[in-house]
Structure formats: C-alpha cells, structure tokens
Chains A and B, each alone.
Chain A
C-alpha cells in the first residue's frame, strides 16, 4: 500500500513538473544559459508604444527582442534609447536602419531592421545610428483632415 502511494505521488509530481517545465521554457521563454546573442542600442526620437520584449525582425524573420527602453541620460537630447538583443551570429553593417513599425492596424509595435551596404560590421554594444520612429497615425490623419499635407 505504501509503495502504491509513493508511486502515485511520484506520478503526480512528475506530471506537475512536466507541465511547469513546458510552461516556463516554451511559453515563458526562460533561458537556462543567459547572455546568448549580442546587444546593440538604437536611438529613436519616439519609442511610443514599443514595449520590452517586442520582436526585432529582418525581412519578417524574428532575429531578437527589445530588452530595455529608457530616456537618453544627456539632458540636451530628448531621445529614447532602445537596447536590442540579437542572435549571436547575425551580422549587421553599421549603416543598417532600425524602424519602429506596427503589425496590422492596431497590432503590437516591433522593430524592423534593414541591412545596409557598408563593410563595417556592428559589434557588441554599438549603436545603430539610422533610425525611423513610429508613424504617428493620429497626426497623419489630422494633417490629412486639416489640409496640412
């Protein structure tokens, strides 16, 4: 009886742990080996709507994510600094363009990178200089409606 009970508890714990593992690794995207990939930063005039964890894509292929968004420490500049973590073996030239885009009309914001033609490759901690901020749909509509175009 005691053995059967121990087996039953073992089955229960096993099923529970399998579920926990599936949830944390598959859904929570927990990294057992932290620090995979390399980090870059990019300055945007506005990072409105962009959230930590948003995808970074090249040609629609996810290659990384946003890990931090903060205001530039320099008081003379009002720019948002976005830290990106990209896949380890990704090579980006230093004239690549980072732009904030929206998936669908009301979807989440993500960062789209387009590769440049320069031969200099961006390394760990470098900054992407060419950026395009999010399109402000409301002000565009306002311009159209009130004849500012």
Chain B
C-alpha cells in the first residue's frame, strides 16, 4: 500500500516544488521591477544615466532595426502579393502589410531584436559587475545599486522600445512599398489608400502598449538575471555570467511571445 502511494506522492511533490519555484521567481522579478521603477522617481542623478542607456539601447539599435524593418516589410510585400494575386485583390496588400506590422510583427520583432542586442549586454554587464564585487562596492560607497544600474535601464527601455517599434513600422511599410509597388507594380495610390483606410487608432495604441510592456519585461528579466548572477546554482564565476546571459535572452524571448498572446487577447 505504501509503495503504491510513493509514486503519486513523489509526482505531486515534484509538481508542487516546480510551481512554487515558478511563482517565487515571478514574484521576485515583480518586486525587482517595482523597486527599479520606484527609484526612477527618487533616485539621484537619474537623467545622465538614462541618457547613456538611451544611447546604448536606442541609438545603437537604430541601424539594426532599420535593416530588419525594411527586410521584414519587403518579405511581407512579396508573400502577401503572391497570396492575394490568387484572389485578384492585390489592392489589399497595403492593409495586409501595415496591419500585420503594426499589430504584431513590429512590437514582437523589435522586442526580440532588442533582447539580443541590448538585453544580453545588460545581463552580461551587470553580471560581471556582480561577480567582480563592483555592486557591493557601489553599496559600500552608499550608492544604491538598483537606482544606479536598473532604474535608468528601465526608463530608457520604456522610452526607446515604443519609439523603435514606430520606426520599425514605418520602415516596414516602406519595405512593402519597395516590393509591392516598385517591383511588382501594384498601384501606388491603392497601396497607401489601403494603409490609411484600414489602420485605426486602436491598432496603433495596441501596438504601442505591447512594445511598452515588452520593454519593461525584457529589461526586468535581463537586469534580474545579471543582478543575481552570484546566486545561480548551476555555475559560478565567469561561467555564471555566460549562463545568466543565455537564460536572460531565452526567458525574455519566451516571455515576449507568451505575453504577446495574452496582451493580444485582452486588446482585441
């Protein structure tokens, strides 16, 4: 009798442990984010630090976002054309390109690109600072490490994610124009008329809400992983920095796509 009960109880124990760890880490990250956000309002000298982060997250990502945006729009124009031409309604290409960019691809692809470009460097930078005891040194010098390291990054991400998403959307529409109008000879007026008539304000606000949320999410996860590098159980030292960076990128990407589904179902 006791043997029969061992397996189910072991499974229940495993499930319980797993879900408690998950809930623990979600709560820990939320608190981390809230502390970081609260220091935006009361941290000293937040502005120059934010400017530096805006340069690192925003300006340095500009080129890669332009590149990705134009190719994304071009491939949407191409794919959309060959699908729509079967129904003889190539005039709808503008709607297809602009709506898929503004609603979904713009926020998600921008966030994933920024995770790779800016998020990974956040995790690695803060992780190295942690294992070389620089964060403790900040603390000893009476500089709050959260206010010094995390808050400017959160603020900069909240500003630059929506802006980069807007740039991505616009350049993607230009990309669709390049393939649709210049290469495949759709009527230029029809392309832009369809864009203007099908995109509504709620599509745009939905996209911007998404990119804002992704900005908070990515920065929180990446900073949290870097900040707690020393507490990793799987590795120590430089290896822990590598692992922290990897898991920061992986967790961010998974959370971006999962929360995108949840946000879309709320916004629609």
Contacts and interface: CB of A to CB of B under 8 A. Distances in A.
B204 A16 contact: no
Interface string B170-194: 1000000000000000000000000
Residue from B59, B98, B169, B197 having most chain A Cβ neighbours under 10 A: B59
A77 interface: no
A121 B257 CA distance: 55
A89 B222 CA distance: 56
Interface string A28-69: 111000000000000000000000010100000000000000
A9 interface: yes
Contact of B163 (A6, A17, A26): A17
A6 B58 CA distance: 12
A30 B166 contact: no
A28 B170 CA distance: 13
A15 B61 CA distance: 13
B62 interface: yes
Contacts of A5: 51-52, 55
Interface residues of A, number: 22
A22 interface: yes
A90 interface: no
Contact of A23 (B59, B159, B160, B169): B169
A73 interface: no
Nearest to B159: A13
A28 B55 contact: no
A108 to B, nearest CB: 9
A26 B196 contact: yes
Interface string B151-166: 0000000011011101
A24 interface: yes
B102 A23 contact: yes
Given A8-B55, A9-B55, A12-B54, A28 B199 contact: yes
A13 B162 CA distance: 11
A149 interface: no
B268 interface: no
Contact of A12 (B62, B162, B196, B197): B62
A124 interface: no
A27 B51 contact: no
Given A12-B54, A23-B169, A28 B163 contact: no
B59 A11 contact: yes
Interface string B217-230: 00000000000000
B167 A27 contact: no
Contact of B59 (A9, A24, A26): A9
7 tightest Cβ-Cβ pairs between the two chains A and B: A16-B163, A19-B166, A28-B201, A27-B199, A12-B59, A19-B170, A8-B59
Interface of B: 51-52, 54-55, 58-59, 62, 98, 102, 159-160, 162-164, 166-167, 169-170, 195-197, 199-201, 203-205
